[in-house]
Chains A and B, each alone.
Chain A
Amino acid sequence: MTEHEPLLEVRDLSVAYGSDRGPVVAVDHVDFELARGEFLAIVGESGCGKSTLLFALTRLLGPPFSGEIIGGQIIFRGRNMVTLSERQLRSIRWRELAVVMQSAMNALNPVLTVEAQMRDACKAHSEMSDDEIRRRSEEVLRLVAIDPMHLRSYPHQLSGGMRQRAMIAMALLFTPELVVMDEPTSALDVVAQRSLIVQIKELQAKLGFAVIFVTHDMSLVSHFSDRLMVMYAGQIAELGKTRQVFDKPLHPYTSGLLEAFPSIHGPNLRLTGIPGSPPNLARPPAGCRFSPRCPHVTAICREREPHLVDVEGDAVRCVLYNGRAA
């Protein structure tokens, strides 16, 4: 298989913000790549840094996700996003890189119609005429199975599922190369969640864009993502092909997560939670950050912070595998 240029390369990215208790590093030296058309899921608990990572990637940090990129590179289609100015970024935004957010009720401007919000984006990046804009808007709405008459609706007049799909439609106005999604299904009920993610996969197949999908619900993406990244305390704990991570989780945190929910088809196992709570990132623990809660903790874990190591195609940050570089 010929190696294509990766669409996105994140090298050693770190994000920190100031607080009353001193600087807090929310994203700590994160490294990964994304190929064209790939579906990468990022999972983790609240506060693990996944949303901060997302907004750092898209250079959208600001209240309430405050913070600054303090190190590393984000190379998107050959250009380092960290060093680009706002004006330069603007030419990339939406044309090549689009964002879908968690709650469409909050992410859509309540005082503008859907049409107006789509027109905003079109006018900002192209010379399309009003007619062309309207036709394109109708086209993307049909893509997500929404009647184009809703162009004239206001966000509060649409149902939750429709709003979310309208946001996705808006993201596809310029058929970008990468669509970044921050928990787009959290605000929906279970049935709508699944149908939305199925729709995203269909669109992906049709239009060929890559997806970074942030969620706290691992099971949701288990059948849909190509690769899975598990984050903990601002670091990557494990990163590998989805099926592989599910079938053979390497990091104790990942196994803990998988054991926390029951499988409908599998044997009737006892549910276990992970004791303790995530660390205070203003003062992270010495050594491995997961050590206070790890069932396989050893003395070395508390002294040395482990690096990401590749084990049979699966990257993992755990002392257990430090001796087994692939």
Chain B
Amino acid sequence: MTFVLRRLGFFVVTLWAAITLNFLIPRLMPGNAAVAMMARYRGRVNPDALHALEIAFGVNNHQSLLSAYFSYLGNIGRGRFGTSLTFFPDTVSHQVLQALPWTLGLVGVTTILAFFLGTLIGLVSAWRRGGVLDGVLPPIFVITSAFPYFWLALLAIWLFAIKLGWLPQNGGYDYTTTVAWSWTFVGDVIRHSILPAFTILVTSIGGWILTMRNNVIGVLSEDYVRMARAKGLHPWRIMWNYAGRNAILPNLTGFAMSLGFVVSGAILVEFVFNYPGVGWMLLQAVENQDYALMQALFLLIVVAVLFAILVADAATAMLDPRARDVR
């Protein structure tokens, strides 16, 4: 129980840090961007947009820094993120919620797929150490894991979309089709997500394969694996129940740390493909200096990462009885 409480406490601290960063950064930048921004916009932008910016910055000339901070926190707490400049007059919250499903679908699904596939391949390749799989795959994946996401995306676009013309190179769906729960629409969405998904999968799977392989190699010299052999268990059973279940545990904790890469990759891939997800929207916001939207999206990304960590922790607790008993 204390373990859970400590984790939640950590999440709250991290969230608080992210919110505070959102608040402080514009103020810390040379020239105090917040105030400069406000001065530039006053009189030239309509009151609603101004209000949006005020919320984003927590700026109200009549308040001290500390009280501005607290009213900012209050607004965030009440879910009032302001109005978006880019998608005026839509609220930030509404826009963010539009982009979310696209990213969840693309990035969420591919990351989970990459994790499971990568872990499986890593397990098998380490199990058959010295075999063909083990000799060929790790060096290849060491190299591919160093590929910049966007470069692979460009390559994929060039090869499959332009040269071969098999798949579309842009967008989340064909803008001429009607948005509805019809087969054509869904099929279209899937067609548009194949290349981005492929890019993310190929770049991220390498890391999982390598870490799992290293873990399994470490586990294979453990006594309990030798014991399993001594008991005459079937090799598959040993590979799965003894080696696999133990080797995956550090991978799960590592999952949390690799999320940073996943997020940065997702942003770049969405950018290259003009895929209407959270990352793409973030860059649009930056482009248009739509700070309210930008800050909200940043917060969303942090929340998503924390949520993923929570899931990984829960999975660890489920798979490792020692974690459940930790004081």
Chain A directly contacts chain B within the complex, with at least one CB pair under 8 Å: yes
Contact B232 A106 (CB under 8 A): no
Contact A98 B320 (CB under 8 A): no
Residue ID in chain B nearest A118 by CB atoms: B231
Contact A110 B246 (CB under 8 A): yes
B221 within 8 A of A: yes
Contact A63 B322 (CB under 8 A): no
Bound: A92/B223 CA distance, A: 20
Contact B322 A124 (CB under 8 A): no
- Report A103-146 residues with CB < 8 Å from chain B CB: 103, 106-112, 120-121, 124-125
Q: For A90, give its contact among B220, B226, B232, B325 (CB under 8 Å).
A: B232
Bound: A316/B320 CA distance, A: 51
Shortest A228–chain B CB gap in Å is 24
Contact B321 A156 (CB under 8 A): yes
Shortest B3–chain A CB gap in Å is 15
Q: A90-B232, A121-B231 are in contact. Are A62 and B321 (CB under 8 A)?
A: no
Q: A120-B237, A154-B321 are in contact. Are A108 and B224 (CB under 8 A)?
A: yes
Contact B224 A58 (CB under 8 A): no
Which secondary structure dominates where chain B touches chain A? helix
Shortest A25–chain B CB gap in Å is 21
- Report B234-249 residues with CB < 8 Å from chain A CB: 234, 237, 241-242, 245-246
Q: For B222, give its contact among A95, A106, A125 (CB under 8 Å).
A: A106
Q: A112-B241, A156-B321 are in contact. Are A107 and B224 (CB under 8 A)?
A: yes
Bound: A156/B315 CA distance, A: 19
Q: For B325, give its contact among A63, A109, A157 (CB under 8 Å).
A: A157
- Report B172-231 residues with CB < 8 Å from chain A CB: 220-224, 226-231
A-B contact pairs, 17 of them (CB 8 A): A89-B232, A91-B232, A95-B232, A102-B223, A106-B222, A107-B223, A109-B227, A109-B245, A110-B246, A111-B320, A120-B241, A121-B232, A124-B231, A124-B232, A124-B237, A154-B321, A156-B325
Contact B227 A63 (CB under 8 A): no
Q: A124-B232, A124-B234 are in contact. Are A99 and B241 (CB under 8 A)?
A: no
Bound: A300/B266 CA distance, A: 76
B164 within 8 A of A: no
Residue ID in chain B nearest A113 by CB atoms: B321
Shortest B99–chain A CB gap in Å is 39
B233 within 8 A of A: yes
Contact A93 B232 (CB under 8 A): yes
A318 within 8 A of B: no
B155 within 8 A of A: no
Bound: A13/B222 CA distance, A: 25
Q: For A110, give its contact among B226, B228, B322 (CB under 8 Å).
A: B322
Residue ID in chain B nearest A97 by CB atoms: B230
A267 within 8 A of B: no
Contact B231 A93 (CB under 8 A): yes
Bound: A121/B231 CA distance, A: 6
> Nearest 10 CB-CB pairs, A to B?
A93-B232, A63-B221, A106-B223, A99-B230, A107-B223, A90-B232, A154-B321, A121-B231, A64-B221, A109-B224
B319 within 8 A of A: yes
Residues of A within 8 A of B (CB-CB), count: 32
A60 within 8 A of B: yes
Q: A111-B245, A124-B234 are in contact. Are A101 and B223 (CB under 8 A)?
A: yes
Give 18 new A-B contacts, CB below 8 A, not counting A93-B230, A94-B230. Answer: A58-B230, A64-B221, A91-B232, A92-B232, A93-B232, A99-B230, A101-B226, A108-B227, A109-B227, A109-B241, A109-B245, A110-B224, A111-B319, A111-B321, A120-B233, A121-B231, A121-B233, A124-B237
Q: A101-B226, A108-B227 are in contact. Are A125 and B245 (CB under 8 A)?
A: no
Residue ID in chain B nearest A62 by CB atoms: B226
Q: Which residues of A contact B246 (CB under 8 A)?
A: 109-111
Q: Which residues of B contact A154 (CB under 8 A)?
A: 321-322
Q: Which residues of A contact B231 (CB under 8 A)?
A: 93-94, 120-121, 124
Shortest A264–chain B CB gap in Å is 34
Residue ID in chain B nearest A154 by CB atoms: B321
Bound: A111/B324 CA distance, A: 11
Shortest A120–chain B CB gap in Å is 6
Q: Which residues of A contact B245 (CB under 8 A)?
A: 109, 111
Bound: A125/B231 CA distance, A: 9
Shortest B89–chain A CB gap in Å is 55
- Report A39-95 residues with CB < 8 Å from chain B CB: 55, 58, 60, 62-64, 89-95
Contact A98 B241 (CB under 8 A): no
Bound: A226/B234 CA distance, A: 35
Q: Which residues of B contact A124 (CB under 8 A)?
A: 231-234, 237
Contact B321 A110 (CB under 8 A): yes
Residue ID in chain A nearest B229 by CB atoms: A60
Bound: A322/B18 CA distance, A: 82
Bound: A107/B226 CA distance, A: 8
- Report B93-109 residues with CB < 8 Å from chain A CB: none
Q: Which residues of A contact B220 (CB under 8 A)?
A: 62-63
Q: A109-B241, A111-B321, A156-B321 are in contact. Are A98 and B230 (CB under 8 A)?
A: yes
Shortest A235–chain B CB gap in Å is 25
Residue ID in chain A nearest B233 by CB atoms: A124
Contact B322 A156 (CB under 8 A): yes
Shortest A71–chain B CB gap in Å is 23
Q: Which residues of A contact B224 (CB under 8 A)?
A: 106-110
Bound: A269/B232 CA distance, A: 49
